[in-house]
Amino acid sequence: MALKDILVQLDSGSRSQARLDLAIGLARTHGAHLVGLFVADLPNMDYYYGAGMPFAIASPEKALERIRGEAASAGAAVESLFLDRTRQAEVPSEWRFVEGRLADTLALHARYADLAVVAQPNPYDTAEDGNRQAAVVTTLMSSGRPILAVPFAGDFSGFGEHALVAWNASREAARAVNDALPLLERTKKVTILAVNPRQGIGGHGDVPAADIALHLARHGVKAEAAHTIANDIPDGEALLSYAADIGADLIVAGGYGHSRARELVFGGVTRTLLREMTVPVFLSH
């Protein structure tokens, strides 16, 4: 699959430009059309009249109009930046300003793209963490498209030189490798890592990750198979530690191999990556 339509989630936050720079670089590399999406996540009237509102206000309609106007003004500023940057980069682009719930709207628009570039929820900002967490998870689980989550700190416009693929021989991992092929084909180095590999049906062969490395080789991707035993730390932390050790600047992984509810309660690789990533993470479900 070629990347011909890329969606990037933009907002008025300080990290929006970092996502835009990364998305423009991807679009230029792959000759893709870039869609910038700004979602004005406005409260509905139930917020003002329901139990969620701690006090009554004189005119909820006027309050909503004020919030709408502020969102439109913020969106216009981001639109100007988006159009200027894509014009300079000579990347074909399209701007979308949409009112709606962030999670559902982002997932909906992602269905019509090959890849959605989204924001990592900032675990240190409780005001935005829940909303953005829902947006990332909903888009991953319901859009039918892969996502590329960009960390809330750092510059990653030139990422993708060395990819680390998390391989556990699952359906989700196989889907992620397939969806990430356009990126993997352009990397200089790919390392496929099996953490605590298991044997038997649905597990690994005699040499963990060797089978998927051979499959990638037939696509022209030179990949090195590796495995590690890490019984004392969770798999997600072992994966992030290994990525840091080898200098990987991209992680590819299957998203939510167990039920989402189980991962949220007990932890899991996907949850760990979303909370602790230090490089862009490509996830597919």
Q: Residues 187-210: pLDDT tens digits?
A: 999 999 999 887 655 566 677 899
**What fold, for 162-284?**
Rossmann fold (3.40.50)
Question: Residue 265 has what pLDDT?
Answer: 42
Average pLDDT of every residue of the chain: 88
What number is the average pLDDT over the span 114-133?
A: 81
CB contact burial 243-272 (16+ within 10 A = b; e otherwise): beeeebbbbbbbbbbeebeebeeeebbbbb
Q: Do domains 5-150 and 162-284 have the same CATH topology?
A: yes
Q: Residues 8-24: pLDDT tens digits?
A: 999 998 899 999 999 99
Give, in words, the CATH class of 5-150: alpha beta
> Domain residue spans in the chain?
5-150, 162-284
CB 192 within 8 A of CB 165: yes
What number is the average pLDDT over the span 66-76?
A: 91
Is residue 26's pLDDT more than 50? yes
Question: Residue 131 has what pLDDT?
Answer: 80
Is residue 271's pLDDT more than 70? yes
Q: Residues 228-256: pLDDT tens digits?
A: 988 888 999 999 999 999 999 999 999 98
Question: Residue 276 has what pLDDT?
Answer: 93
Question: Residue 219 has what pLDDT?
Answer: 96
| Other CB atoms within 10 Å distance of the CB of residue 146 | 26
Q: Residues 162-191: pLDDT tens digits?
A: 999 999 989 999 999 999 999 999 999 999
Paired sense of beta strands 147-150 and 281-284, if any = antiparallel
